Amino acid sequence: MARVPVQFTLNGEERAEFIESGTTLLHALRDTMGDTSPKGGCQQGTCGACSVIVDGELRLSCLTLAQTCEGAAIETTAGLAAGGVLHPLQRAIMDGFAAQCGFCTPGMIMAAKALLDHTPNPTREDVIEAISGNVCRCTGYEPIIAAVLAAARSNSQNAG
In the complex, which residues of this chain contact other proteins (CB under 8 A)?
20, 30-31, 35-44, 46-47, 49, 76-78, 80-81, 86, 89-90, 93-94, 97, 99-106, 109, 135-138
The least CB distance from residue 20 to other proteins, in Å, is 8
Which of 136, 145, 149, 150 touches ligand FES by CB under 6 A?
136
Q: Which residues within the stretch 4-33 sit at the binding site for ligand FES (CB under 6 A)?
A: none
Residue 62: exposed, middle, or buried by beta-carbon count in 10 A (0-12, 13-18, 19+)? buried
Indicate which single residue of 6, 139, 147, 151 sits in contact with ligand FES (rule: CB under 6 A): 139
Min separation Cβ 137 and ligand FES, Å? 4
94 binds ligand FES (CB under 6 A): no
Task: Quote the least distance from Cβ 50 to ligand FES, whole Å.
Answer: 3
For residue 156, the partner it binds in ligand FES, other proteins, none, with Cβ less than 5 to 8 A by kind, is: none
- Hey, CA dihedral for 126, 132, 12, 25, is it positive or negative? negative
Q: What are phi and psi of 77, to 5 degrees?
A: -60, -30
Q: How far is the CB of 120 from other proteins (least distance, A)?
A: 20
